[in-house]
Amino acid sequence: MDDSGSTVPRRQLGRYLREIRENAHVTVTAAAKELEWSAPRIWRYETGQVSMHPNDVEAMCRVYGAPRETIETMRALARETKAHGWWHSYGEAIEDWFKLYVGLEAATKIRKYEADLVPGLLQTVEYMTEVIATDLPQLSEAEKSARADIRLRRQRLLARAVPRAPHYDVILSEAVLRRPLCERSAMARQLDALVVASQRHNITLRVLPLAAGLFRWAYTGTFTVLDFPADVREPEPTTIYMDGPCGAVYLDKAHEIQIYEDAWRSLTERALDVDESRVLITGIAKEMTDEA
């Protein structure tokens, strides 16, 4: 098995190829016969066990009748499967690298430490609108609205019934709560929304107070830990996700995961409990309202 770099891009490529094949109503046996390959070879590709050459990816896509644009996307993603450290940048592999993370949100548990902003899955419309406008002032109003709509659709993840919604375990730095929007009353409404969200059965929300001091591996910054079902034939490994304005990084090697598990354990030891966190959030919301 090829063990170079993160397995995330090749697992994602395998998912895409399987989806393209199934949508074309082509069986593994039929594909193998047409390509003059063995069925196990296709299975290894679709399950992300090995990296793929772009030409092999193109051959599969042609058998499935995929359009040229899809073929180019899959070829580029195949090149990423050979990377030793995988930074996925804008304009490379797929037009929107964030699609990879959205695909991984099929996890049964999502753990999130946020140092700077309210997480996208918990943002109010007012909050996300200001974040988008601040980051991307060059966009038209229609484009900004479209981005907000995408974020709102993502939030349905936490409310879905089938498949069961993941558990969302969030630790927020107190700085996130005290960094106001331009309109302080809008920030107060965001904080109130956090309190409401924290009462949902599948959301745990805790605050890391500024007075807590340093936690282990504090310079990791914001990160997300995705945990997948273990009771399946081929369980997905825990995956660490981080992003920035130029792209995202995915980590899934044992030693990498251990560092972030240590960081998460240290955070949980220093964070307020759920009830204490609600009290703090409510108090800061009141301060924002009084100052508005």
Q: Residue 226: count other Cβ atoms within 10 Å of its Cβ.
A: 24
Q: Are residues 210 and 249 part of one domain?
A: yes
Question: What is residue 235's predicted lDDT score, i.e. its pLDDT?
Answer: 67
Q: Are residues 117 and 255 part of one domain?
A: yes
Parallel/antiparallel/unpaired status of strands 167-173 and 109-114: parallel
- What letter represents residue 149's amino acid? D
Q: Could you tell me if residue 135 is inside a domain?
A: no
pLDDT classification of 10: cutoffs 50, 70, 90 = confident
pLDDT classification of 3: cutoffs 50, 70, 90 = very low
CB-based contact 288:187 (threshold 8 Å): yes
5 vs 155, higher pLDDT: 155
Question: What is residue 6's predicted lDDT score, i.e. its pLDDT?
Answer: 55
Q: Are residues 105 and 60 part of one domain?
A: no
- Number of domains composing the chain: 2
Q: Could you tell me if residue 41 is inside a domain?
A: yes
Q: Could you tell me if residue 185 is inside a domain?
A: yes
Q: Could you tell me if residue 74 is inside a domain?
A: yes
Residue 44 has pLDDT above 70, yes or no: yes
Q: Are residues 208 and 107 part of one domain?
A: yes
User: Using CB atoms within 10 A of its CB, is residue 40 exposed (0-12), middle (13-18) or buried (19+)?
Assistant: exposed
pLDDT classification of 213: cutoffs 50, 70, 90 = very high
Parallel/antiparallel/unpaired status of strands 239-244 and 223-227: antiparallel
Q: Are residues 255 and 165 part of one domain?
A: yes
DSSP state at residue 156: G
Parallel/antiparallel/unpaired status of strands 239-244 and 203-208: unpaired
Parallel/antiparallel/unpaired status of strands 223-227 and 247-251: unpaired
pTM (global) more than 0.85: no
Note the pLDDT tens digit of each residue in 186-204. Answer: 999 999 999 999 999 999 9
CB-based contact 8:252 (threshold 8 Å): yes
Q: Are residues 174 and 282 part of one domain?
A: yes
Which CATH number belongs to the domain containing residue 243 in this structure?
3.30.870
Q: Are residues 183 and 67 part of one domain?
A: no
Q: Are residues 104 and 70 part of one domain?
A: no
**How distant is the alpha carbon of residue 274 from its chain centre?**
24
Q: Could you tell me if residue 2 is inside a domain?
A: no
Q: Are residues 106 and 248 part of one domain?
A: yes
75 vs 116, higher pLDDT: 116
Residue 82 has pLDDT above 70, yes or no: no
End-of-domain residue from the set 31, 63, 85: 85
Domain that holds residue 81: 8-85
92 vs 65, higher pLDDT: 65
Share of the chain above pLDDT 90, in %: 57
pLDDT classification of 233: cutoffs 50, 70, 90 = low
Segment 68-81 shows an average pLDDT of 82
Q: Are residues 253 and 175 part of one domain?
A: yes
Q: Are residues 209 and 108 part of one domain?
A: yes
pLDDT classification of 209: cutoffs 50, 70, 90 = very high
Which CATH number belongs to the domain containing residue 65 in this structure?
1.10.260.40
CB-based contact 183:290 (threshold 8 Å): no
End-of-domain residue from the set 57, 85, 113: 85
Q: Could you tell me if residue 43 is inside a domain?
A: yes
Q: Are residues 281 and 169 part of one domain?
A: yes
Q: Could you tell me if residue 266 is inside a domain?
A: yes
202 vs 246, higher pLDDT: 202
